[in-house]
Amino acid sequence: MLDNLFKLKENGTTVQTEIMAGLTTFLTMAYIIFVNPTILSETGMDFGAVFVATCLAAAIGTAIMGLYANYPIALAPGMGLNAYFTYGVVFGMGYDWQVALGAVFLSGVIFLILSILPIREQIINAIPRSLKMAISAGIGLFLGIIGLQNAGIVVGSEATLVTIGDLSQPGPIMAAIGFIAIAAMTALRVPGALIIAILGVTAISILFGFSEFGGIASMPPDPTPTFLQLDIIGAINIGLVAVVFAFLFVDLFDTAGTLVGVAHRGGFLDANGRLPRLKKALLADSTATVAGSLLGTSTTTSYIESASGINEGGRTGLTAVTVAALFLLALFFSPLAGSVPAFATAPALVFVAALMAKGLAEIPWDDVTEYAPALITAIAMPFTYSIADGIAFGFITYAAIKIFSGRIADASPTVIVLAALFIAKFAFLG
């Protein structure tokens, strides 16, 4: 039954491999279960209710991705989007969190319409191959800096923006051990290298008192404080048009970049660099955004951490369904899930970053009109801390260089239009 549903033999995988890949992906993105409620609760939202909404939105979106699109890609409320929700819309503009949820709902409906129509698919397919490879590498670099931050190896600095952390602390030491273990086990072809390292570092950190064992299980918190509490009517006003479109722009291109990058890492792109069943994948994330807003969380999107499971051999939707099931289980085992410290998953993120950075090798380095915008795309993602902004810079520089070098024919009309829209977005929406 599973083989017929997910085409396991056709994709050269097994049930055991898919489940292991799903567990790996879940462990590398489980931090969102705790980080998202922490950020959104600053607006006055109930922490426990947002915790439940986060788990359910992730489970719904990921299950749709697995069962409908048959891809090993997981979804959850997006980092960056939750910060914009809290610090940009609620604190910055003074709107209630209910109105902000209404704006997320409206943007989700627009995502859904664009996904049903061929517009969104055409946009992603119009991305030049050099930029697609740069997006893959850029996401890798973005994963790398997230991993180094989680490990405490890289920290903020007022003088230099970022600087080296205190390497004598347990976090950086344990993360370094985990990374070396992953690389060594991979070289030795040990199956499940990432998950072995994550669980091993977690066990050692608990044993030596570097992190706490939070317990085993508890009943899920009450979801009603945020369930169906969105204010759609309040979100339908001229002042929130920019907010709705900001959510739209970020989720559209964040998802586009993640799908392209993760698909490239998994070898899912066809000979033309296009992703089969793209429409189904886009419907999964847009439906999840709508569902998440009803449950009480910010925009749900595809997760770059899915690359960790793909690296463990995940090739089909069974990996995603496994992740979805684990998010549902997390509702009851939140103390246990919370026992995995950030520095335990950090080495997995950095190792996947190393793998994804190989996309840079596929960029045509003999053509400056291709490699210059590609490099801008790749380095902008970690430095702006945004996949969407990295893609925006890439489109703008790609179109501009092609136009001013007299090679406008190389740039499709879609690329030029999108570049103009990105310029307008930065000019008027920031």
Which pLDDT tens digit goes with each residue over 366-397?
Answer: 999 999 999 999 999 888 877 778 888 998 99
Q: Establish if 258 belongs to a structural domain.
A: yes
Q: What are phi and psi of 154, to 5 degrees?
A: -115, 130
The pLDDT assigned to 80 comes to 67
* Number of domains the chain is built from: 1
Is position 56 within any domain?
A: yes
Region for 215 from its dihedrals, namely left if φ exceeds 0, alpha if ψ lies in -120 to 50, beta otherwise? left
Task: Please compute the mean of the pLDDT values over residues 394-413 and round it to a whole number.
Answer: 91
Grade residue 2 by pLDDT with cuts at 50, 70 and 90. Answer: confident
The predicted pLDDT at position 258 comes to: 77
Kindly indicate the confidence band of residue 256, based on its pLDDT and cuts at 50, 70 and 90: confident
**Residue 430, Cβ neighbours under 10 Å: how many?**
8
What pTM value is reported for the model?
0.71
Report yes or no on 1 lying in a domain.
no
Structure tokens at 355: 């793998």
Whether residue 351 is predicted with pLDDT greater than 90 in this model: the reply is no
Burial class (CB in 10 A: 0-12, 13-18, 19+), 216: exposed
Query: 154: which strand partners?
Result: 164
Q: How do strand 300-302 and strand 75-77 relate by DSSP bridges?
A: antiparallel
User: CA 350, 356, 360: angle at the middle one, nearest 5?
Assistant: 125
Residue 321 pLDDT grade (very low, low, confident, very high; cuts 50, 70, 90): very high
Q: Is residue 75 part of a domain?
A: yes
Residue 158's Cβ-count burial label (10 Å; 0-12, 13-18, 19+) is exposed
**Could you read off the pLDDT of 274-285 as tens digits, one per residue?**
777 777 888 888
List all residues 6 or more positions away from 361 whose beta carbon is below 8 Å from its beta carbon: none
Summary mean pLDDT of the chain: 84
Domain of residue 417: give its range.
13-218+226-357+364-428
Query: Cα–Cα distance between 67 and 146 in angstroms, integer?
Result: 29
Residues of the chain above pLDDT 90, percent: 27
Cα–Cα distance measured from residue 294 to residue 251, given in angstroms and rounded to the nearest whole number: 17
Name the residue with tokens 């929406």. Answer: 429
Provide DSSP, 269-331. Answer: S-TTS--TTHHHHHHHHHHHHHHHHHHT-S-EEE-TTHHHHHHTT--SHHHHHHHHHHHHHHT
In-domain check, residue 5 = no
* pLDDT over 90 (residue 116): no
- Assigned domain for 269 exists: yes
Q: What is the pLDDT of residue 74?
A: 92
Decide if 330 contacts 27 (C-beta within 8 A).
Answer: no
The average pLDDT across 398-426 equals 88
46 occurs within a structural domain? yes
Domain membership of residue 418 (yes or no) is: yes
pLDDT for res 371: 94
pLDDT of residue 166 exceeding 90: yes
- pLDDT band, very low/low/confident/very high, at 242 (cuts 50, 70, 90): low
